[in-house]
Amino acid sequence: MTTVIHSVRLVDDERVTPDAWVAFDGPVVLRTGTGEQWRTLAADAQGEAIDGQGAYLTPGFVDIHGHGGGGASFDDGADAIAVARAVHRAHGTTRAVLSLVTASIDDLAARVAVIADLAAHDATILGSHLEGPFLDPGHKGAHTEGLLRAPDASSIDRLVAAGRGTVRQVTLAPELPGGLDATRRFVEAGVAVAVGHTNATADEASAAFDAGATLLTHAFNAMPGIHHRTPGPIIAAMRDERVTLELIADGVHVHPDVIALAFAGAPGRIALITDAMAAAGAPDGAYELGGLPVTVTGGTARLDANGSIAGSTLTQDAAVRLVVVGGLALPQAVAAVTSVPARAIGVAGRYGSLNPGAAADAVLLDDDLRVRAVWIDGTRA
């Protein structure tokens, strides 16, 4: 069936096109255009015409790093995943990589296998992200220290095999013993490697990028900051055109002025992630993250043990609003939740775009950048 969404301001390919329309042919984008041509197309195909009433239409959002929502965590099985995905889908996230916190290798293998089973039947699930256990204890954040470990070949192979091709991303600290070898091994298996939860110097981070790492996990958080004599992994990532920097734009993890600095320093390479835990889309209160008690107050999640930030309660539409209020142009903000994260995990063109042939995923936003409607594979969600 052909569906035409017309009379919109199309935000794609880092520009805004007024009086635009997009035609879906079932689950894929058929054509885009401007003006009144949509009328002939809709009539010839006897399809559905939807008046966008001048709203913004963007590609569906792609979140490559999130842990849950709606009171549920992605670590907790298929039912919990369904609950959390529904929350983020309503906020425009049409495709997502499901992030898993540090656990034993046995538990992680079981969890990536569950995600692999779900991904085989639900194409909105792009696979899994292993945020641990190969992390620096000194920058563990909300991860259980006793489960952290250096990477080894057998553990890597087991996790990759359990995912059956669906482990999309892994975060690791490259300065750990075997860190660079692990980076190469994951990359050879088709997994995007992110430097994160790390004490790496700039040189150590650069060595990881040379070994194939292409991401920086939630930049500025759980890593050395920028110092004028010791620039650290953030500057190494900003200066390397091969690297995409994740950012949590909730106004808590990173100050808006620093977010603006990151976009200026790495244009076209910032991916706005949620890093959302179970409390996203749910009330304040007591939660757990990876078995660690967390209290959410005023939408900010912190570990009970030491007050460390424990994920976020962010949704991607809220991230877009924050960076636009901070002065970023809307096309660049939209790219940071669509084409940039899609490129970072190797699904560019198929997702994060409304060009012909791409998946018919779209988000309709009002003037305040709040979600009015979501389409996935051409069907309104």
The widest CA-to-CA distance across the chain, in whole angstroms, is 65
Two tokens at 328? 């970023």
How many Cα atoms occupy the beta-carbon half-sphere of 19 within 13 Å?
Answer: 4
**178 to 150, 161, 169, 181, 224: CA distances (angstroms):** 7, 20, 18, 5, 20
Residue identified by tokens 């995409």 is 244
Catalytically active residues are 275
**49: which DSSP letter?**
E
Question: What angle, 0 to 180 degrees and rounded to 10, lies between the N-to-C axes of helices 153-163 and 179-188?
Answer: 30
DSSP string, 156-213: HHHHHHHHTT-EEEEEE-TTSTTHHHHHHHHHHTTPEEEE-S----HHHHHHHHHTT-
Position of tokens 């194939």? 212
d(CA 381, CA 377): 9
Give Rg (Cα) of the chain: 20
Closest Cα partner for 169 from 134, 222, 128, 114? 128
Give Cα separations from 132 to 113, 114, 148, 241, 313 (angstroms).
16, 17, 7, 25, 20
Residue 69 has a CB neighbour count (10 Å cut-off) of 30
Q: Contact at 8 Å (CB) between 245 and 270?
A: yes
CB–CB of 346/27 below 8 Å? Answer: no
Q: What angle do CA 54, 57, 63 make, to 5 degrees?
A: 150
